[in-house]
Amino acid sequence: MGYKKERGLWESYEQDAEKTAAEIFCPARISRRDFVKKSGLVALMVAFGTQVPFLRNLPAGFIPVAFAEADEDFVIPGKNGLRLLNDRPINAETPPHLLDDNITPVARHFVRNNGLVPPSANVLASAKEWMLSIDGEVHRPLQLSIEQLQRFEYHTYDLTVECGGNGRAGYNPPVKGNQWSLGAVGCARYGGVLMRDVLRASGLKTSAFYTGYYGADIHLSGDPKRVVISRGTPIEKAMNEYTMIAWEMNGKPLSALHGFPLRVVTPGWPGSVSMKWLNRIWVRDVEHDGPKMTGKAYRVPKYPVPPGSKVPDADMKIIESMPVKSLITFPKTRGRHDLRTAFHLRGHAWAGERSVKQMHVSFDFGQNWIRADLKQPANRYAWQHWKAALNFPSRGYYEVWARATDSNGSMQPTVVPGWNPKGYLNNAMHRIAVTVF
Q: pLDDT tens digit string along 243-285?
A: 999 999 999 999 999 999 999 999 999 999 999 999 999 999 9
What's the pLDDT at 122? 86
Q: What pLDDT, in 10s, does the model give residues 110-151?
A: 999 999 999 999 888 889 999 999 999 999 999 999 999 999
Q: Which fold has domain 325-436?
A: Immunoglobulin-like (2.60.40)
Between CA 157 and CA 156, with CA 385 as vertex, the angle to 5 degrees is 5
Q: What pLDDT, in 10s, does the model give residues 422-431?
A: 999 999 999 9
- Asked if residues 177 and 7 have their Cβ atoms less than 8 Å apart, the reply is no
Contacting residues for 226 by C-beta, under 8 A, at least 6 apart: 219
What's the pLDDT at 53? 83
Average pLDDT for the chain = 89
- Measure the CA–CA gap between 406 and 396, rounded to whole angstroms: 33
pLDDT-derived band of residue 68, with 50, 70 and 90 as boundaries? Answer: low
Instruction: Give residue limits of the domains in the chain.
Output: 88-318, 325-436
Domain boundaries 88-318, corresponding CATH code: 3.90.420.10
What's the pLDDT at 301? 98
Residue 77: C-alpha distances to residues 81, 118, 158, 247, 269 (Å): 11, 16, 24, 20, 28
At 299, the amino acid letter reads R
62 pLDDT higher than 70: no
- Identical fold for domains 88-318 and 325-436, yes or no, is no
22 pLDDT higher than 50: no
- Asked if residues 202 and 238 have their Cβ atoms less than 8 Å apart, the reply is no
Q: What pLDDT, in 10s, does the model give residues 357-412?
A: 999 999 999 999 999 999 999 999 999 999 999 999 999 999 999 999 999 999 99
Q: What pLDDT, in 10s, does the model give residues 140-180?
A: 999 999 999 999 999 999 999 999 999 999 999 999 999 99
Question: Per-residue pLDDT averaged across 9-13, rounded?
Answer: 53
Asked if residue 291 has a cis previous peptide bond (ω within 30° of 0), the answer is no
